[in-house]
Amino acid sequence: MLEIERKFLVRDDSYKRLAKRSYHIKQGYICSGHGHTVRVRLRDEQGFLTIKGPSLDGGLSRYEFEKEITVEEAGQLFHLCQPGIIDKRRFLVPVADGHTFEVDEFYGDNEGLVIAEVELSDPDESYDRPSFLGEEVTGDHRYYNSHLRVNPYKQWSE
């Protein structure tokens, strides 16, 4: 499946009052490099194994395969993960045009970083831009979770 998304920094916490729900995410990477990733994720009480390919268009889209696995299987796969676990809370924020922004508030070594993403069905698809969105960072590898794992936000210089 082709995943098309735009990614933004978040300028304020108004997304919290607009969110229809949120959940806790813990994720690790079994392998990542050259645009390919194999990720294990716990989302509240659900487990997932995800394989992503490289982007061919500057970070706007990439192929993704995701399979739900048991919580126990996810727990076992975490033993195979590279160092650096991503810990975050995801807020689902619907907007008037029918899109839903996923706003990730990071914890641990990435505390203070808040990123919003919107998935699209076409790279040129229009979408409403909520007021909490800041600078677009689509394609900026520093904001990829697999990069935050090895170069966490707390280590960035101003």
The residues assigned a catalytic role are: 29
Enumerate the H helices of 3-82 as residue ranges: 15-18, 71-78
Q: Of 15, 6, 4, 12, which is closest to residue 134 (Cα–Cα)? A: 12
Distance between CA atoms of 87 and 106, rounded to whole angstroms? 6
What is the distance of C-alpha 129 from the center of its chain?
A: 18
- Count how many residues are written for the chain: 158
Q: Which amino acid is at 16?
A: K
Distance between CA atoms of 2 and 25, rounded to whole angstroms? 22
Q: Provide the CB-side half-sphere exposure for 52 (13 A, CA).
A: 23
